[in-house]
Amino acid sequence: MNWMTIIGFMAAIGTTFSFVPQAVKIIKTKHTKDLSLGMYLMLTMGIFLWFVYGILIQDLPIIIANGVTLIFAVTILIMKIIYK
């Protein structure tokens, strides 16, 4: 594994797991009033497109990071819609 891939994985870990505290808080409190639905819709679409891009260029850090982040973002988005 080269240094660029390692940097990619480190960036992926940081940005991907930044969603965990928000997801945990929403799961515990079921409170989503302060989250913007429009922002989470656009963010989730962007993450999905990064995931597809990663697949197309066969870049493992992009695929893994955005695949995991997509799960967190979709979870938060669904809760935002349900707990409206």
* Amino acid of residue 48: F
Q: Token digits for 78?
A: 């669904």
Backbone angles phi, psi at 8, to 5 degrees: -60, -45
| Element (DSSP H or E) covering residue 41 | helix 37-57
Residue of 71, 77, 73, 69 lying closest to 37 (CA atoms): 77
Q: 33 is in which domain, residue-wise?
A: 3-82
The answer to whether 26 and 81 are in contact (CB under 8 A) is: no
CATH at residue 74: 1.20.1280.290
Q: Are 49 and 58 in contact (CB under 8 A)?
A: no
Total number of domains in the chain: 1
Q: Give, for all 84 residues of the chain, the pLDDT tens digit.
A: 789 888 888 888 898 888 889 889 888 998 888 889 999 999 999 999 999 999 999 988 889 889 999 998 999 999 889 987
